């Protein structure tokens, strides 16, 4: 029996020291006001916010995710798309980085569907009994992947939440979209827990 106990302690220590090499291994990250089930290798990075609770999650040397819980959290809405023709750009010496440039404009402006040129897809879901906007790139690796909740503690609440990453690798996008579904929120005073 003693030998069995010794072996089980050694096995447990080996798992703790070596970590989980299996990519399907997950862990629960606890951020005080919310928890999230994530791949085992993801690591919490503390950050300081001025008017909200912010932080980051280091995925690897390339990808990092950010969250913001507060009154001014970004809604992850893609900026309005402005489309111009090459001729218009040349005539006005406009910086093309601010616009989508097309060869020819349709005869009538209202024939142009700016959504053809957006980088993001948007879907709506219910996460932890909250209405949530989920954003993800149309072309993997080019755009924002994340979640936005406009009212975290109820209809009159001004507290918002987002968790997102930009230009993520395909695997990180997939892992983040999966992790978003595991979000659970807890209304606590985070300042009291840190002291």
Same domain, 72 and 129: yes
pLDDT given for residue 12 in this prediction: 47
DSSP 114: G
Rounded Cα–Cα distance for residues 44 and 48 (Å): 13
From the list 150, 90, 88, 80, the residue with the least C-alpha distance to 117 is: 80
Same domain, 68 and 33: yes
* 28 domain-assigned: yes
Low-confidence ranges of the chain (pLDDT < 70): 1-19, 21, 23, 81-114, 155, 157, 188-195
pLDDT given for residue 161 in this prediction: 97
DSSP 109: G
Strand partners, 148: 133, 162
Strand partners, 67: 55, 163
Q: Is 14 helix (H, G, I), strand (E, B) or coil?
A: helix
Name the residue range of residue 112's domain. 83-116
Burial of 173 (0-12, 13-18, 19+ CB in 10 A): buried
Q: Dihedral of CA 50/130/194/176: which sign? A: negative
Same domain, 90 and 185: no
Q: What is the pLDDT of residues 128-137, one digit of tens each?
A: 999 999 999 9
Could you give the number of structural domains in the chain? 2
Rounded Cα–Cα distance for residues 30 and 44 (Å): 9
pLDDT given for residue 108 in this prediction: 46
What's this model's pTM, rounded to 2 decimal places? 0.74
Helix (H) or strand (E) holding 130: strand 130-137
pLDDT given for residue 111 in this prediction: 58
Same domain, 72 and 130: yes
* 130 domain-assigned: yes
Quickly tell me which residue has 């975290």 as its tokens: 152
């Amino acid at each position: 029996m003693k030998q069995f106990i010794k072996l089980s302690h050694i096995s447990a220590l080996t798992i703790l020291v070596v970590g989980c090499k299996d990519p399907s291994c997950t862990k629960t990250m606890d951020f005080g006001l919310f928890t999230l089930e994530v791949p085992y290798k993801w690591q919490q990075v503390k950050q300081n916010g001025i008017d909200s609770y912010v932080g980051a999650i280091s995925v690897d040397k390339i990808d990092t995710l950010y969250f913001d819980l507060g009154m001014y959290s970004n809604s992850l809405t893609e900026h309005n798309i402005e489309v111009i023709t090459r001729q218009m750009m040349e005539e006005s010496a406009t910086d093309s980085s601010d616009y989508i440039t097309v060869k020819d404009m349709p005869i009538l402006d209202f024939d142009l569907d700016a959504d053809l040129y957006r980088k993001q897809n948007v879907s709506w879901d219910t996460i932890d009994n909250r209405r949530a906007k989920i954003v993800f790139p149309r072309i993997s690796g080019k755009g924002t992947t994340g979640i936005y909740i406009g009212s975290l503690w109820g209809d009159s609440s001004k507290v918002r939440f987002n968790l997102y990453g930009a230009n993520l690798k395909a695997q990180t996008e997939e892992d983040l979209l999966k992790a978003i579904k595991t979000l659970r929120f807890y209304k606590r005073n985070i300042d009291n827990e840190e002291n």
